[in-house]
Structures are given as C-alpha cells and as structure tokens.
Amino acid sequence: MYKTVLVAVDLSKDSQKVIDKAIAAVKANTKKIHLVHVVEPVAAAYSMDIYAVNINELQQEAIAMAEQRLKEIAEGLGVDASRVHTLLGAPAPEIRNLASELSAEAIVMGSHGHSGWKILLGSTATKVLHGATCDVLTVHVGDE
C-alpha cells in the first residue's frame, strides 16, 4: 500500500512499538521505511542560565547521542543509513517537512493519548497531523 513511510521515534522504550506498527504497514519491507528523530534545541527544551553551560556543546552532544541510537535501531532493522534522519528543531514541522521532501505516503509515530489540558495544548502527534499532506498513523504508547 505504501511506498515510503516516515517513522518518527522519540528513542524511548515505546519506539519499538511504533516501529513494529510501521513494519506491519509496509508488510515487513523495511526498504520502504525512513527513520527520523528530532532533537529539540537545548535552549528551547530547558530553561537554564545560558552563562552556566556551553549550550552549543550540549546541543552537539544531544545530536550525536540521538544519531548513534537511531543508527543502532536502523542497523537492527536493516534500514540503510541513507534512510536515517536526525534533525534539529521543533518536532512537528520538521517531521512534516521531511515527509514532504521524501514524498512519504504516511507518517507513523507514537501518541500518549492524553486528555484534558494536554489535548488543549496539543501534543506532537496532534501538531504533525495538522498540516500533514499524507496519512498519519498514531500508535498508542505508554500507560502500560
């Protein structure tokens, strides 16, 4: 059904559940899968005194760690390195933009399915859905 599927993972323990659903969607043909992890800018993710820490060094370390972890996941699945993407920025627009660049027919990602204020404020999955130009499959994760 899908020729190109973008699998957005947060590198948590829940990532495997998301990957498993994506593999099922492509009928185990991992050549159709692209993996992406978006590292949020450190200054945006944490409120800290910028004089106390070298932000650039901390940011580069976070990117390197994410790249290594995503590479390990890709190797375990047989996904080629050219289909592994570690990006820096706000997750939702970065995921949507990459999906568009790849002409992906679907994005697969996890969602915690929170209620109340968290729905009102929006989750990454909700933000990806609004503005996506392809199918978005959210996989319920967490709370298990």
110 strand-pairing partners: 139
Q: CA 38, CA 70: separation in Å to the nearest integer?
A: 11
Q: Using one digit for the tens of pLDDT, what is the confidence trace for 72-101?
A: 999 999 999 999 999 999 999 999 999 999
What is the mean pLDDT of the segment spanning 17-45? 90
Please state, rounded to an integer, the average pLDDT across all residues of the chain: 87
Check residue 120 and give its pLDDT: 44
Of residues 5, 26, 36, 17, the one with CA closest to residue 144:
17
Domain boundary assignment for the chain? 5-140
- pLDDT of 144 above 60: no
- Which CATH superfamily does the domain covering 5-140 fall into? HUPs (3.40.50.620)
Amino acid at 130: H
Number of Cβ atoms within 10 Å of the Cβ of 136: 21
Q: CA 61, CA 135: separation in Å to the nearest integer?
A: 33
